[in-house]
Amino acid sequence: MKNRVITISREFGSGGRTIGKKVAEALGIPCYDSELIHKFAAESGFDEDYIKDVGEYAPGGFLAAAFSHSAIGPNNADYLWAIQYKIITELAEKESCVIVGRCADYVLQDKADCLRVFVHADMAFRAERIVKEYGDRNKSPEHRLKNKDKRRAAYHRFYTDMKWGHAQNYDLTLNSGTLGIDRCVEIIKELY
């Protein structure tokens, strides 16, 4: 029997990472989030900071829009994508777990017994939360939220050809602003 894996995709500031960690803790299974960065770095030889900077962003500018990534040849981002795909697949084969982000919903769609979750919330909830979690920055919280979500959506679309956050691509979508973090955790646990 395949391992049971929960993937958590999320809007920036919605609490998806926190929800994933709490679900994993409650179920007694590992949660892979920042731990994935360590694994990608060990496998690729790239610095962890470099992976954090480019790992969730679609390659390219106007050239990426004009040419597919396969038409112009693989680049560092494509190399990291291949490593990411391999490591996520290996983790799902090895054990039941929670995987936060990194297009795990797409990677595991046919490889594991997978509950694909998307966590979202309104702008006010997320803005308040990121100021609490990450502190004040030079840019407004709303600008940071829009920019991060735009980059995540572009990365997801570039490598999966699926629309990030589109309800049909997930088994469950949760509004953490309305339900609260702890209720989201309970709902996911009930469905596990």
Domains along the sequence of the chain with CATH = 4-191 (3.40.50.300)
Q: Please report the pLDDT score of residue 64 as a whole number.
A: 45
Could you report the per-residue pLDDT of 113-148, keeping only the tens digit for each? 999 999 999 999 999 999 988 886 767 899 999 999
- Alpha helices of 45-121 — where are they, by DSSP H? 48-54, 62-66, 76-94, 104-107
Residue 4's DSSP bridge partners are 113
- Report the predicted TM-score, pTM, of the whole model to 2 decimal places: 0.87
69 pLDDT band (50/70/90 cuts)?
Answer: very low
- Whole-angstrom distance, CA of residue 41 vs CA of residue 45: 5
- Whole-angstrom distance, CA of residue 39 vs CA of residue 53: 16
User: Rounded to an integer, what is the distance from CA 115 to the centroid of its chain?
Assistant: 14
Per 3-state DSSP, the chain is made up of helix, strand and coil in percentages (nearest 5) of 55, 15, 30
- Cβ within 8 Å of residue 109, ≥6 positions away: 116
> Is the Cβ–Cβ distance between 152 and 55 less than 8 Å?
no
pLDDT of 15 above 80: yes
More confident residue, 70 or 141: 141
- Whole-angstrom distance, CA of residue 47 vs CA of residue 89: 22
Q: Of 17, 156, 30, 35, which Cα lies nearest the Cα of 98?
A: 30
Q: Please report the pLDDT score of residue 56 as a whole number.
A: 58
What average pLDDT score do residues 93-97 get? 95
Helices 141-160, 123-134: axis angle to 10 degrees equals 100
> Is the Cβ–Cβ distance between 186 and 19 less than 8 Å?
no
